[in-house]
């Protein structure tokens, strides 16, 4: 394994000092370290992987240097268009190194949403004609790989990739910061009680896991909930498709990181004005990947949602405000932003129902 300190020092010696991307738990240790050492690099947090490729292109155009784009392998889907139609040798020819976290690696246990991409990722690189190497589990070899890939990127004027299986970057000792205030799981329990019997679409990650566990704890059926286990940022589009197809009021539970990834869905919701309540749980971070900040801290939620046609917007923080909120009084399409503190139970489980089971039960509920 290699420490984040020594890896960043090695990259600096190679003049690889510009980083952009979307965080993943597979690169968690290095990205957490990078956040606290931004004075040593230039680091631009992207809202999605396609944007990260565009940012990297801009950096190269301005400096002639090779940028680093970090992403989970599932993010290759978002990055595909600019990789093939912008950075490719047959278009502009932009050298860059992709640091790709390998989720769903064959033979390793992972969540269902990672299995397909984990299995086909290497074939994708071959089809896209992107040279790649699997990161070595020792410092000298990994540094040599980064140097070699940089030279290949410059020689061919095209993207290359360094793929990171789990456990390559050594875990750093860090003090856990205790944050006071309403936690996401507490907010979700209050919200689910207020939502009652209506259909719910919940975003990927901790949110859907907590929704599932709250239902289990309260001995409630899971049939009303569509748990979006992958496709970060697309829960809003799923909810829009449902709301345009049923007469029931639909509740979408989104996260700030997922919302910013495909913010354009809000414009579609405002335009079509469905019977939808868009709830954003805002903790200001990509919590499941190490707490890297999202980019919503300067966002005026009320102005944003109003500008795209939402009829009502409510902003709440704290348990008392949330408990006093009357969801039924919000005119649809409505937005509710709930500010929460970071923090997740260490014993948080995962849904025990398979995605297909969840889909079939939810469809019966909607159509019945």
Pairing outcome for strands 159-164 and 200-202: unpaired
Token look-up 């750093």 returns 172
User: 298 and 159 share a domain?
Assistant: no
d(CA 215, CA 238): 21
Residue 171 within any structural domain of the chain: no
With cut-offs at 50, 70 and 90, classify the pLDDT of residue 94. very high
d(CA 33, CA 35): 5
User: 225 and 352 share a domain?
Assistant: yes
Residue 177 within any structural domain of the chain: no
With cut-offs at 50, 70 and 90, classify the pLDDT of residue 201. very high
Peptide bond into 152 cis (omega under 30): no
Query: Residue range 133-153: average pLDDT?
Result: 96
Model confidence over 206-247: pLDDT tens digits?
Answer: 999 999 999 999 999 999 999 998 899 999 999 999 999 999
How many domains does the chain contain in total? 2
d(CA 61, CA 259): 29
As a residue count, the chain comes to: 368
User: 214 and 278 share a domain?
Assistant: yes
- Reading the block at residue 312, the tokens are 């009502």
User: 104 and 195 share a domain?
Assistant: no
Indicate whether 316 pLDDT > 70: yes
User: 221 and 352 share a domain?
Assistant: yes
Model confidence over 101-128: pLDDT tens digits?
Answer: 999 999 999 888 999 999 999 999 999 9
Residue 178 within any structural domain of the chain: no
138 burial level (CB within 10 Å; 0-12, 13-18, 19+) = exposed
CB-hemisphere CA count at 13 Å for 233?
A: 17
User: 218 and 131 share a domain?
Assistant: no
User: 154 and 188 share a domain?
Assistant: no
- Reading the block at residue 104, the tokens are 């769903």
Asked if residues 313 and 301 have their Cβ atoms less than 8 Å apart, the reply is yes
User: 95 and 197 share a domain?
Assistant: no
Query: Which ranges of the chain does DSSP label H, i.e. alpha helix?
Result: 4-13, 28-35, 49-63, 76-85, 112-128, 139-156, 184-195, 206-217, 235-243, 256-261, 264-272, 301-307, 319-324, 355-367
d(CA 260, CA 220): 31
Q: Looking at 95, 129, 164, which one is the last position of a domain?
A: 164
Indicate whether 178 pLDDT > 60: no
User: 69 and 122 share a domain?
Assistant: yes
Query: Residue range 290-315: average pLDDT?
Result: 94
What is the rounded radius of gyration, in angstroms, for the C-alpha atoms of the chain?
A: 21
CB-hemisphere CA count at 13 Å for 196?
A: 7
Indicate whether 150 pLDDT > 70: yes
What's the helix, strand, coil split of the chain in %, to 5? Answer: 45, 20, 35
Residue 132 is predicted with a pLDDT of 98
Q: Looking at 130, 164, 198, which one is the last position of a domain?
A: 164
Range of the domain at 296: 184-367
Token look-up 């260490």 returns 346
- Reading the block at residue 218, the tokens are 């309260």
34 burial level (CB within 10 Å; 0-12, 13-18, 19+) = buried
Model confidence over 325-349: pLDDT tens digits?
Answer: 999 999 999 999 999 999 999 899 8
Strand partners, 20: 44, 69
Residue 174 is predicted with a pLDDT of 57
- Reading the block at residue 105, the tokens are 């690696």
Question: Looking at residue 45, which CATH number applies to its domain?
Answer: 3.40.50.970
Indicate whether 52 pLDDT > 70: yes
User: 193 and 316 share a domain?
Assistant: yes
Residue 102 is predicted with a pLDDT of 97
Q: What are phi and psi of 194, to 5 degrees?
A: -70, -35
Which positions ≥6 away from 139 have C-beta within 8 Å? Answer: 2, 6, 7, 10
With cut-offs at 50, 70 and 90, classify the pLDDT of residue 57. very high
Residue 233 within any structural domain of the chain: yes
Residue 176 is predicted with a pLDDT of 55
Q: What is the mean pLDDT of the chain?
A: 94
Asked if residues 100 and 72 have their Cβ atoms less than 8 Å apart, the reply is yes
Residue 290 within any structural domain of the chain: yes
Straight-line distance from the first to the last Cα atom of the chain, in angstroms, rounded to the nearest whole number: 53
Asked if residues 269 and 276 have their Cβ atoms less than 8 Å apart, the reply is yes
In Å, how far are 17, 19, 22, 84, 288 from 42, measured between CA atoms?
6, 6, 15, 25, 24
Percent of the chain at pLDDT exceeding 70: 98
Q: Which of 33-47, 141-155, 165-179, 350-364 has the lowest mean pLDDT?
A: 165-179
Residue 290 is predicted with a pLDDT of 76
Which of 75, 126, 125 has its CA nearest to residue 101? 75
User: 116 and 264 share a domain?
Assistant: no
Model confidence over 21-42: pLDDT tens digits?
Answer: 999 888 999 999 998 888 899 9
Residue 36 is predicted with a pLDDT of 87
Q: Looking at 164, 193, 216, which one is the last position of a domain?
A: 164
Residue 133 within any structural domain of the chain: yes
């Amino acid at each position: 394994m290699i420490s984040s300190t020594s890896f960043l020092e090695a990259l600096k010696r190679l003049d690889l000092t510009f980083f952009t991307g979307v965080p993943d738990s597979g690169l968690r240790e290095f990205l957490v370290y990078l956040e606290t050492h931004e004075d040593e690099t230039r680091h631009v947090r992207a809202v999605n992987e396609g944007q990260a490729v565009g940012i990297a292109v801009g950096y190269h155009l301005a400096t002639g240097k090779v940028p680093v784009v970090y992403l989970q392998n599932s993010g290759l889907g978002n990055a595909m268009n600019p990789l093939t139609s912008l950075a490719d040798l047959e278009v502009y020819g932009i050298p860059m190194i992709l640091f790709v976290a390998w989720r769903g690696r064959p033979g390793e246990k992972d969540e269902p949403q990672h299995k397909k991409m984990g299995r086909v990722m290497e074939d994708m690189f071959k089809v896209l004609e992107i040279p790649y190497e699997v990161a070595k589990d020792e410092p000298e070899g990994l540094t040599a790989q980064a140097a070699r890939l940089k030279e290949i990127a410059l020689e061919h004027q095209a993207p290359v990739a360094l793929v990171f299986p789990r456990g390559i970057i050594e875990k750093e000792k860090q003090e856990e910061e205790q944050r006071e205030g309403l936690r996401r799981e507490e907010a979700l329990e209050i919200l689910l009680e207020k939502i009652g019997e209506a259909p719910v679409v919940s975003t990927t990650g901790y949110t859907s896991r907590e929704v599932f566990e709250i239902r289990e704890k309260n001995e409630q059926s899971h049939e009303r909930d569509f748990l979006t286990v992958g496709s970060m940022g697309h829960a809003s589009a799923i909810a829009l498709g449902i709301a345009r197809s049923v007469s029931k009021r639909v509740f979408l539970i989104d996260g700030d990181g997922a919302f910013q990834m495909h913010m354009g869905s809000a414009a579609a919701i405002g335009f079509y004005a469905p019977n939808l309540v868009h709830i954003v749980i805002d903790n200001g971070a990509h919590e499941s990947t190490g707490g890297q900040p999202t980019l919503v801290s300067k966002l005026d939620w009320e102005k944003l949602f109003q500008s795209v046609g939402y009829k009502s917007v409510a902003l709440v923080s704290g348990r008392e405000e949330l408990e006093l909120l009357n969801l039924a009084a919000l005119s649809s399409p409505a937005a509710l932003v709930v500010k929460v503190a970071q923090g997740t139970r260490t014993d948080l489980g995962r849904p025990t129902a398979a995605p297909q089971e969840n889909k079939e039960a939810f469809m019966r509920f909607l159509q019945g």
